[in-house]
Amino acid sequence: MTWFKRQSGELANSGEKKVRTEGLWVKCESCRQIIWKKDLEENLNVCPKCDKHFRVDARTRLAQLLDDGQYELFDTDLVSTDPLKFVDLKAYASRLKQAQKDTGLNDAVLNARGKLNGRPVIVSAMEYAFIGGSMGAVVGETITRAIEQAVESKTPILIVSASGGARMMEGVISLMQLAKISAALARLDEAKVPYISILTDPTTGGVTASFAMLGDLNIAEPGALIGFAGPRVIEQTIRQKLPQGFQRSEFLLEHGMLDAVVPRKQLKPYVARALDFMAGPVGTSAN
């Protein structure tokens, strides 16, 4: 026998009393501190406690770099035709659909026009969440169009890389994008239009081996993984553990592969300074 017995039915469930904590707090992978998400966002997605740079999506990146978070997207309507009808454990077509649904983008890059400290610029920002930011025909074409726009309008261009490299599911098609973008960059170079490559975590494979390393300046965020081959592939090849900090931004800086490692908060002023050097103060040049 129980001492107390509920007289009638279940307790009424008043939904309003629910406390929702999900998504409000984030744990920093680096220092393992719990951070209030709003604090993190106000700090440009950099951990306020240990300065770990969290990955940011393409839209956030554009908003962070461009004045008042204002920009105009262009050439965002291209989609892959799945040229090889590639199927591994899952069909590429369904991977594409899933990624499009998850990110709200058509592929792994966004082209935008906006102003950086008052200077018109073109920015191509890659989206790592879209199949690892991999580069297929759509990414190749979109970035090439951004470069062509830059040549045509003599507008400085920034490309923000965040990619695992070429998109395997488009096979040799994705390899040819390296040649295509690099050829366009040769024309940009001849037109003497500034190009600043911004490498973020991670930038590897075919993206590093083409446009990411071809900026007039190559700058990276702190702690970003940057390399040609992935660390696992290298470990398997040389059959030994890789040294601490191998293929991180600071390692590349030390080996002369980067012009600077710039924390996210100083990224915009740094780029603005560089563009002043390359194109003159705002309003004095063709811009």
Partner 1 sequence: MIRGLMKSSPDMRLSGQSTPADKTDAPQSVAGAELLLSMVEAQWANRNGNTMELAPKAQQELEKIQQQLARLESLPKNPEQGSAQVAAQSDETQQQIQQLNERISVLRKELEEFRGAWYKTELARHPQRPYTLDYIERIFTGWSEIHGDRGFGDDPAIVCGMARFHDEDVMVIGHQKARDTKQKVYRNFGYAHPEGYRKALRAMKIAEKFGRPIFTFVDTPGAYPGLGAEERGQAEAIARNLREMPRLHVPILTVITGEGGSGGALAVAVADRVLMMENSVYSVISPEGCASIMWRDATKKELAAEALHITAPHLMELGCIDEIVEEPEGGAHTDHEKAAALLDSALQKHLATLKVLPIPSLLDSRYKKFRNMAQFFKTNV
Binder of partner 1 out of 40, 44, 93, 209 (CB under 8 A): 209
- Nearest distance from residue 50's CB to partner 1, in Å? 26
Binder of partner 1 out of 78, 93, 272, 278 (CB under 8 A): 78
Binder of partner 1 out of 214, 272, 278, 282 (CB under 8 A): 214
Provide the 3-class DSSP secondary structure of residue 141: helix
Which residues between 105 and 144 bind partner 1 (CB under 8 A)?
A: 106, 136-138, 140-141, 144
- Nearest distance from residue 239's CB to partner 1, in Å? 11
- 246 is written with which tokens? 């191998």
When asked if residue 223 is in the footprint of partner 1 (CB under 8 A), the reply is: no
- Nearest distance from residue 118's CB to partner 1, in Å? 30
Provide the 3-class DSSP secondary structure of residue 6: coil
Binder of partner 1 out of 179, 191, 260, 280 (CB under 8 A): 179
When asked if residue 152 is in the footprint of partner 1 (CB under 8 A), the reply is: no
Neighbours of 158 (CB within 10 A): 28
Residue 102, φ and ψ in degrees, nearest 5? -70, -40
- 56 is written with which tokens? 């940011």
Q: In degrees to the nearest 10, what's the CA dihedral of 110, 58, 229, 206? A: 10
28 versus 202: smaller Cβ distance to partner 1: 202
Residue 175, φ and ψ in degrees, nearest 5? -60, -40
Per-residue H/E/C for 19-49: CCCCCCEEECCCCCCEEEHHHHHHCCCECCC
Residues that bind partner 1 (CB under 8 A): 77-84, 86-89, 106, 136-138, 140-141, 144, 166, 168-180, 182-187, 189-190, 205-206, 208-214, 227-229, 233-234, 237-238, 242, 246-247, 255-257
